[in-house]
Structure 1
Amino acid sequence: MEISGGITASLAGRYATALYELAHEQGQVSAVEGDLERLTDALRESNDFAALIRNPLISRHAAGQAMAAVGQTLGVSPLTGQFLGLLASKGRLPKLVDIARAYTTIAAALRGEVTAHVTSAHPLDDAQVATLADKLAARAGKSVKLKTAVDPDILGGLVVKIGSQMIDSSIRTRLNSLAQAMQG
Structure 2
Amino acid sequence: MFSNRALLSASRATATASSRVVAPRAAFTSQIRNYAAPAAADSKPPVALYGLDGTYASALYTAAVKTSTLDSTAKAMQALNEVYHKDAKLGTIMLAPTLSAEDKSSIIAELQKHTGGVDKGDTVKNFLEALAENNRLGLLKGVCEKFSLLMGASRGEVELIVTSATQLDGKTLQRLETAVSKSSYVGGAKKLKVTNKVNPDILGGLVVEIGDRTIDLSVSAKIAKMNKLLTDTL
Whether the aligned pair in 1 keeps the contact of 2:160 and 2:195 (CA below 8 Å) is: yes
In 2, Cα distance between equivalents of 1:164 and 1:29: 24
Larger radius of gyration: 2
- Structure 1 residue runs of 5 or longer lacking an equivalent are 177-184
Whether the aligned pair in 2 keeps the contact of 1:12 and 1:95 (CA below 8 Å) is: yes
User: What residue in structure 1 maps to residue 106 of structure 2?
Assistant: 65
In 2, Cα distance between equivalents of 1:146 and 1:96: 24
Deviation at 1:133, TM superposition (A): 7.5
Whether the aligned pair in 2 keeps the contact of 1:116 and 1:145 (CA below 8 Å) is: yes
Cα-to-partner distance string for 1:144-164 (whole Å, 9 max, x where unaligned): 223432112455664323243
Taking the TM superposition and a 5 Å limit, the aligned residue runs for 1:41-120 are: 41=85, 46=88, 48-72=89-113, 77-78=118-119, 79=122, 80-120=124-164
User: What residue in structure 1 maps to residue 208 of structure 2?
Assistant: 160
SS in 2 for 1:28: helix
Whether the aligned pair in 1 keeps the contact of 2:61 and 2:147 (CA below 8 Å) is: yes
Q: 1:81 to 1:38 in 2, by over 3 A?
A: farther
Identity fraction in percent = 27
Whether the aligned pair in 1 keeps the contact of 2:49 and 2:58 (CA below 8 Å) is: no
Q: CA RMSD in A?
A: 4.0
- 1:34 corresponds to 2:78: yes
SS in 1 for 2:166: coil
Cα-to-partner distance string for 1:78-122 (whole Å, 9 max, x where unaligned): 343453344224432122234334423433343333222211233
TM-score normalised to structure 1 length: 0.62
Deviation at 1:55, TM superposition (A): 2.0
Aligned with residue 144 of structure 1, among 192, 201, 211: 192
Q: 1:56 to 1:117 in 2, by over 3 A?
A: same
Q: 1:76 to 1:159 in 2, by over 3 A?
A: farther
Deviation at 1:60, TM superposition (A): 2.3
Deviation at 1:19, TM superposition (A): 2.2
Deviation at 1:58, TM superposition (A): 2.4
Deviation at 1:59, TM superposition (A): 1.2
User: What residue in structure 2 maps to residue 179 of structure 1?
Assistant: none
Q: 1:11 to 1:123 in 2, by over 3 A?
A: closer
Deviation at 1:20, TM superposition (A): 1.5
Q: 1:157 to 1:89 in 2, by over 3 A?
A: closer
User: What residue in structure 2 maps to residue 3 of structure 1?
Assistant: 44
Aligned with residue 19 of structure 1, among 60, 80, 90: 60
Q: 1:99 to 1:161 in 2, by over 3 A?
A: closer
Deviation at 1:11, TM superposition (A): 5.3
SS in 1 for 2:99: coil
In 2, Cα distance between equivalents of 1:70 and 1:150: 30
- Structure 2 residue runs of 5 or longer lacking an equivalent are 1-41, 224-234
Alignment size in residue pairs:
169
Whether the aligned pair in 1 keeps the contact of 2:53 and 2:142 (CA below 8 Å) is: yes
